[in-house]
Amino acid sequence: MMNNEILKLHYDIVKGDYIRGGEASSNIKKALMQLGVDNAIIRRVSVACYEAEINIVIHSLGGYMEMKIYEDAVEIIASDVGPGISDVGLAMTVGYSTATQGAREMGFGAGMGLPNIKNNCDELKIDSTEGGNTTITMKIYFK
Amino acid sequence: MKICRINELLNTGPIICCDDMEIDIKYGFASDLMSDVLALANHNVVLITGLINIQTIRTAEMMDIKWIIFVRGKIPDETVLELAKQNRINVLCTKETMFRTCGILFGNGLQGAEISK
């Protein structure tokens, strides 16, 4: 259960923009630091955010990230406008990747993204349809 | 291992954005795959990599990694170094290969990081 929204941040993410990719996660991290959130929690949120943001840059046609901070938790929504994940179960497999050569040259595409998001979240929901949008909802509680 | 000792062993030259030459680092993590750094490294390591693009700095920022050694004689461009400075991430550059860098540091007492997962 999440109580009382304190802050909401929204960032558009551009397809293939490896230079600005990560800026949204950086801003989210800085906001959490300003709010005095525990460092270990910030690290988990940052890694989950960054993996999700880079996924949008690498795999999608573009999208957005939204972070809502509540009194007891952080909720991050990473959503894109396609082309969707054909097999979510396969995408969750460590080592499985459909990343392009360009993404690999930037140091990504090891097939660790979604599994690492899962490891850093208390709750994870992936909604995706092949040929359609993908929305990932991540929750991390302050505890 | 103190940063000044790493500097001496690897002949890294000037350190960019140096916070403290006397700081002690116990663990190292070497990889050119940022995905693996994000999944496996801990925050209290020196990151050893040959990947000199902006996402290396972003990865270090997200992981709270404050020290990076760029190997194989690669020097990041100004944009990358500026982002490192903004995030108070200290950058060292060596002409040594990744293998030799790891060997030299390990041989002199730097330990391999315990993987976090």
* Per-residue pLDDT tens digits of chain B, which is 117 residues long: 988 899 999 999 877 776 677 788 999 999 999 999 999 888 889 999 999 999 999 999 999 999 999 999 999 999 999 999 999 999 999 999 999 999 999 999 999 988 765
Closest alpha carbon within chain B to A111: B35
Amino acid identity at B112: G
Phi, psi (degrees; rounded to nearest 5) at A70? -110, 175
Q: What is the pTM of this model?
A: 0.94
A4: left (phi over 0), alpha (psi -120 to 50) or beta: left
Contact B77/A at CB under 8 A:
no
Q: How many domains does chain B have?
A: 1
Domain extent, residue B57, equals 3-112
With vertex at residue B66, the alpha carbon angle to CA B63 and CA B67, rounded to the nearest 5 degrees, is 120
CATH of the domain at B36: 3.40.1390.20
Per-residue pLDDT tens digits for A15-61: 999 999 999 999 999 999 999 999 999 999 999 999 999 999 999 99
Write the CATH number of the domain with boundaries A5-141: 3.30.565.10
CB nearest A113 (choices: B35, B37, B53): B35
ipTM, 2 dp:
0.92
- Amino acid found at B74: K
Please name which of A31, A110, A102, A104 lies closest in space to residue A65, comparing C-alpha atoms: A31
Residue B42 placed within a domain: yes
* pLDDT computed for residue B15 by the predictor: 78
Cβ count near B111 (within 10 Å): 13
Ramachandran sector of residue A62 (left: φ over 0; alpha: ψ -120 to 50; beta: rest): left
Q: Helix, strand or coil for residue A124?
A: strand
Domain layout of chain A by residue ranges:
5-141
Domain-embedded: residue B99: yes
Q: How far is B59 from chain A (nearest CA, A)?
A: 8
Nearest to B53 among A47, A54, A106 (CB): A106
Q: Which of A50, A113, A116 has the CB atom closest to B58's CB atom?
A: A50
From residue B36, how far is each of A47, A62, A111, B97 by CA, in Å?
12, 24, 9, 19
Q: Is A45 exposed, middle or buried (0-12, 13-18, 19+ CB in 10 A)?
A: buried
Residue B117: inside a domain? no
Looking at the complex, does the CB of residue B65 fall below 8 Å from at least one CB of chain A? Answer: no
